[in-house]
Chain A
Amino acid sequence: MLKENIRMSWRNIRANKLRSFLTMLGIIIGVMAIVALVSIMRGATAALEGEIMDLGAGRVLIYASGNHAKAGIDEEELLELSAIEGVAGVSPSNSYTAVLARGEDLLENVTVKGVSAIYFDHSTEELLRGRLICQSDVENALRVCVVSDEVEQTLFFGEDAVGKTLTVGGREYTVVGVVGDPDTDLMSMMQENMGRMYGTAESGGTIYAPYTAVQEATALPYYSSLDLFLSDTSHSDAVVAECERILNQAFNYDSDAYLVFGMDSLLDLMSDLRGMMNGLLIGIASISLLVGGIGIMNMMLVTVTERTSEIGLRKALGAEPRAIQTQFIIEALFLSLLGGLLGVFFGAAISLLAAAAIGFTAVVEWSSVLLGFLFAAAIGVIFGWAPARKASRLNPIEALRSN
């Protein structure tokens, strides 16, 4: 009888193509949302996580906003932090905003980044000409700088800046190199945001100078942020723990005064984010599927009314109420599963297109396909049940008379 029910459902759906399609639309959209969003999200987070692994693996970020007793990380702690096992080097990034001058020409709102030699080993700025900041520059607090090509463009009007001098806050610096803009990767985005949160303004351009020279210029004995570069990426947990121990002591157990950010906490953040997105997604999909279910229920009620005399006839021919109910539930199920199938198809297509457009590998997950199908099936049965029951309870005499 199942086969006949399925054949019958198929014919009724085919006989009312447009109506059936519109009815399925809610389910199609719901399942499409589940499949497409899950796979896009998986693909995107996988790409992001890959990037975090690439960039963050060798790094631990420390931000110290300080408290009233202590404004930031001092030289002593800097030494202590660099001495942690597994730390290859530390680059304090004590940036500030300054006005650059070259003769008459001024350039405002430039970020001056104090760095150590190791900084460039791990960042993505590409050296275009000249050289980078080296160890002896730092040790001797030399007034040299590396400028971004943005600064070179605006202040040197396309001339080669290497070897020329410029003035930062009244002090003369010699340009030793030009670098391209860093990639806007997750890490630098975070760094910029953190920097903003902790008081540095967004800048029109960037120059890099030995942190020792910058410190001399700002006359601040404290650092507000540090980049720790690791020699062994597999120990970032231990390094983070050690940093926290040191800073906890330094800030007298005031854990609000500093923030240590390792790759692991980034990955944790990602998984939190993913959990949140999943919840949101299921919410959206549920609402859409609920709407789809109501659509199916509506269509089934119309169908039952339209086919009252058919129901009467089937009963006269010996169909038990249960057989009638089964027939209409199967019809609702058929409708919702067909919607689910189309939803999976469109969802997969959309995620592949999106992946191609955005540039990551889309992973159409079987679990989300299955979830979509199960949802659709449940909707079919739940929302098909009441109309089917109504059909099964029709009085055959009255049903036969309707025509």
Chain B
Amino acid sequence: MNSSTARAAAQAPGPLLVMQGIEKSYAMGSELQPVLRGIDLTLERGEFLSILGPSGSGKSTLMNIIGCLDVPTAGSYYLNGVDVSGMNEIQLSRIRSKEIGFVFQSFQLLKRLDAMENVELGLIYAHVKPKERKQTAEEMLVRVGLQDKLHHYPNQLSGGQQQRVAIARAMATNPSLLLADEPTGALDQKTGAQVMELFHEINAGGRTIVMITHDPGIAAHAGRIATILDGLLTHGGAQDA
């Protein structure tokens, strides 16, 4: 039995993600500064959601909570049927390993590792055996169109190619949710569009995606757009991508 069937078996019924009344405040001196002020969000499996908002509106703060890098000050958060809002550091890292694939604006590839090794990283922490790891990594790189760059190091790849490696890495562990924070922010328009095309393909394959951006043009690629303003989320309807 390979890891993807194992994970499919663990899939709980109902929506992938349910957030209710999520609040997050940061202590600024003696005062608490609220950044998120009661966010409600439900995400069905297979959805592609964009969260749009101006700079400083709390997009990254929300993404950190969705991605289980941080816990909310108040509210409940169920991911794949599990309440993660009160988890400790070790539990959160296990959830991240299992459920979340991250794509960052700045790619976050390790410069001393080649493309294959970068893609393998998440699999190492998921305790996948070396042989299976290499096989999966290669598969993922082929899928993002980098079959002839398997052993290139990040500094031997273009920005678009680096982001493709990062996407392959995020996909390698077969996560329930692909979480991208400004994935095209560091790319020119053409390569950005190519990356968005890849996202479409991935979503078409059944993967749930949440993408954060301040660019309405990029947000428009998603099936659904939610806008964050003053710590509150306003939901737009589903749209045609």
Contact = CB atoms under 8 A, between A and B. Distances in A.
B124 interface: yes
Given A323-B125, A396-B69, A397-B69, A318 B110 contact: no
A246 B108 CA distance: 89
Interface string A3-15: 1100010011001
A400 B93 contact: no
Contact of B90 (A1, A4, A8, A321): A321
B94 to A, nearest CB: 7
A310 B110 contact: yes
B126 A318 contact: yes
B165 to A, nearest CB: 13
B92 to A, nearest CB: 9
Interface residues of A, number: 24
- Name which of A4, A12, A318, A322 has the most chain B CB atoms within 10 A of its CB: A318
Interface in A1-58: 1, 3-4, 8, 11-12, 15
Nearest to B97: A318
B125 to A, nearest CB: 4
B67 interface: yes
B48 interface: no
A395 B112 CA distance: 23
B187 interface: no
Interface in A318-358: 318-323
B140 to A, nearest CB: 14
A188 B108 CA distance: 76
B185 to A, nearest CB: 13
Given A316-B102, A320-B90, 16 more contacts: A4-B124, A11-B113, A313-B108, A315-B69, A315-B93, A315-B96, A316-B69, A317-B96, A317-B122, A317-B169, A318-B94, A318-B126, A319-B93, A319-B97, A321-B90, A400-B104
12 contacts: A313-B108, A315-B69, A315-B96, A316-B96, A317-B96, A317-B102, A317-B121, A318-B96, A318-B97, A318-B122, A320-B125, A321-B89
What 8 pairs across the A-B complex have the smallest Cβ distances?
A318-B97, A318-B125, A317-B122, A318-B96, A313-B108, A320-B93, A11-B112, A319-B125
Interface of B: 64, 67, 69-70, 89-90, 93-94, 96-98, 100, 102, 104, 106, 108, 110, 112-113, 121-122, 124-127, 130, 169, 173
